[in-house]
Structure 1
Amino acid sequence: MQINDPLLTKKEAAAILDVSIPTFYRRVADGIVPKPIKIGTLSKWPQSEILSVIESAKAARDA
């Protein structure tokens, strides 16, 4: 079984959420965006987790 869930950089993840990189890191600190996966010195976010942030915001809006 192969799972295709690309790992995104902070720039790519912030672009999907349409926020600046400093705002992206504020949302990580707030717990709205999950903490990154650390690979050596790199920080990466699974695309599925970034997309689930959007889905959670939509669900909260509709609740």
Structure 2
Amino acid sequence: MRIIDPLLKDKEAAPLLGISVPTFWRRVADGTIPKPVKLGSTSRWPQSEILEVIERAKAARFEAA
């Protein structure tokens, strides 16, 4: 059985990170958030990649201490 990894719009992914859509795009530009999957003219992010951004941030808080 194959697990489906939903593709999220910027307006769906930004709230998961607790940031605004403009800040979301700034984080894409600086590499904090992966570049989108392009489907024609639309941009989408696999949900798993957004959750990985959260996991990396959680791990980094212990490394910085």
Question: Post-superposition shift, 1:3?
Answer: 2.3
Match of 1:4 in 2: 4
Give structure 2 stretches of 5+ with no counterpart. none
Amino acid at match of 1:37: V
| TM-score between the two structures when normalised by the length of structure 1 | 0.95
Match of 1:34 in 2: 34
Amino acid at match of 1:14: A
Structure 1 stretches of 4+ moved >3 Å = none
Q: Quick one: distance in 1 between partners of 2:5 and 2:49?
A: 9
Q: Quick one: distance in 2 between partners of 1:13 and 1:57?
A: 15
Question: Post-superposition shift, 1:2?
Answer: 1.3
| TM-score between the two structures when normalised by the length of structure 2 | 0.92
Match of 1:18 in 2: 18
Larger Rg: 2
When the two chains are superposed, the root-mean-square deviation of aligned CA atoms in Å is 0.7
User: Percent identical across equivalent pairs?
Assistant: 67
Q: Quick one: distance in 2 between partners of 1:3 and 1:39?
A: 20
Match of 2:62 in 1: 62
Give structure 1 stretches of 5+ with no counterpart. none
